[in-house]
Amino acid sequence: MEIPFEEFKPIAEAAPAPTTLGDALSRGARRADRPADNPANRVFNFISFGSGSSGNCCYIGTRASGFLVDAGVKADFVELQLPANGVKWENVKGILLTHDHSDHVKYAYTLLRAHKHMRLFCTNRVLNGLLRRHGISKRIKDYHVPIFKEIPFRLGETEITAFDVPHDGTDNMGFSINYDNRNFVIATDLGAVTERAHHYMSRADYLVIEANYDLQMLLAGPYSEFLKARIRTDRGHLDNTATAAFLREVWNPSMKYIFLCHLSQDNNTPAKALEAVRTALESRGLKIGDGRETISDRQADVQLVALPRFEPTRWYVFRP
């Protein structure tokens, strides 16, 4: 079954020139309706439905056009949450996959089958890994649109660039998402910050970054020595201290929100992760907000939030 998909365009593809005055006027009217040209609609949104080894999924975009990143949270839960926040499913363009581990892909086919207009955006290697590792229907290939690292593409009103991150999945990646000259960057499941990951994350206005474990909790915890060693490698996960040091180094005034993701249930706590990063940023003289839009938050240099493991966040609204 071949399903046409016309929303996806490589960044280099140019729009055809209008052939008549009517075409030009019509195209101009459509441009006037685009969020980037209408200040009232230039808000950018984010909501996380769950973050951690129990399941990862979030929505990024506007209410008129957006997409999911990963699909590891129960499909029926996500299907209820989006309309509750004013997003119609026909406006969800697809699912971007960071890699092929179960907590990121488990419900991808369920969502695609229920919403057949959506597409699955990942590299060919991630798709092959997904089919090899999991009992997911091969019909998921009918929805696949291949993407390539470091080659930008357009999806709705956003320009997206996938970039390589080190982890022990298949062809792992983060995403740099540009909307209205603002960058939302997500980098989950990485054991180290490589040069290319550094390049994209340091340019984020809104950054989702892993703070997976507290080292002392991991070392004293119940995991096997093999699993502890795997977590600590450059292809494992970032600990609170490494994440904090990176953020202290790269923070700049354009970075307004930092979301800590994929916190371990056994080897971390939100309080420990937030404290490590807050202390590092405060050492640069920054005032840190809690992302709750209080008067105090409005006076802060940056908002710092730990994404909950099982619950959705509030609907974040990023205005120009």
Taking only the tens place, the pLDDT of each residue in 268-291 is 999 999 999 999 999 999 999 999
Rounded Cα distance between 307 and 51, Å, is: 6
- Max CA-CA distance within the chain? 72
Cα 107 to Cα 18, 125, 137: the distances in Å are 42, 19, 11
Rounded Cα distance between 50 and 243, Å, is: 20
Q: How many CB atoms lie within 10 A of CB 168?
A: 16
Task: Give percent of the chain above pLDDT 90.
Answer: 78
Contact between residue 70 and residue 58 where contact means Cβ atoms under 8 Å apart: yes
Rounded Cα distance between 65 and 88, Å, is: 9
pLDDT for 12: 40
pTM score: 0.87
Comparing 7 with 116, the larger pLDDT belongs to 116
pLDDT for 42: 80
pLDDT for 4: 45
Contact between residue 239 and residue 215 where contact means Cβ atoms under 8 Å apart: yes
Cα 209 to Cα 169, 248, 271, 291, 292: the distances in Å are 17, 13, 16, 16, 19
Which residue type is seen at 219?
Answer: L
For residue 119, what are its two tokens? 């597409």
pLDDT tens digits for 181-229? 999 999 998 989 999 999 999 999 999 999 999 999 999 999 999 999 9
pLDDT for 24: 35
Structure confidence at residue 13 as a pLDDT band (50, 70, 90): very low
In order of their start, the domains of the chain are 41-314 (3.60.15.10)
Q: Tokens 């995403």 map to which residue?
A: 175
Question: Under DSSP, is residue 110 helix (H, G, I), strand (E, B) or coil?
Answer: helix
